[in-house]
């Protein structure tokens, strides 16, 4: 059982042309070199696998494909964004999220 968290420093995503399934992948890279590979299932009714730690500092998360736009929106417009991995006590409780933000803060902008 493990817990880990890291701040996302960069991301990339791509659509595979040569696969019949698992066609979309999102990779989140942490400030300390951590990686979270996010895989998407096309069937919105499918049961998703639990998030898993595959190696030290390497995690796999699973979402439905219809969730991709909201994840990309978060990565583009919010900050900071974190990956939280937690599979303690047999309860998978992992997520990609922001931290607490003040009400009315507005979106992230390039202006100081």
Question: Is 108's pLDDT higher than 80?
Answer: no
- Give the model's confidence band at 112: pLDDT under 50 very low, under 70 low, under 90 confident, else very high: low
First-to-last C-alpha distance (Å) of the chain = 41
Cα separations (Å) of 105 from 69, 77, 108, 109, 111?
Answer: 22, 12, 9, 11, 13
pTM: 0.84
Any idea which of 22-26, 35-39, 80-84 has the lowest mean pLDDT?
22-26
Q: Counting beta carbons within 10 angstroms of the beta carbon of residue 37, is it exposed (0 to 12), middle (13 to 18) or buried (19 or more)?
A: middle
Q: Dump pLDDT digits (tens) for 31-79.
A: 999 999 999 998 999 999 999 999 999 999 999 999 999 999 999 999 8
């Amino acid at each position: 059982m493990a817990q880990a968290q890291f701040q996302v420093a960069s991301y990339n995503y791509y659509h595979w042309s040569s696969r019949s399934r698992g066609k979309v992948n999102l990779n989140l890279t942490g400030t300390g070199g951590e990686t979270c590979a996010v895989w998407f299932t096309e069937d919105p009714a499918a049961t998703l696998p639990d998030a898993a730690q595959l190696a030290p500092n390497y995690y796999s998360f699973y979402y439905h494909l219809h969730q991709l736009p909201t994840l990309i929106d978060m990565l583009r417009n919010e900050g900071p964004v974190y990956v939280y991995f937690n599979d303690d006590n047999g309860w998978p409780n992992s997520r990609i999220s922001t931290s607490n933000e003040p009400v009315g803060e507005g979106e992230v902008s390039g202006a100081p």
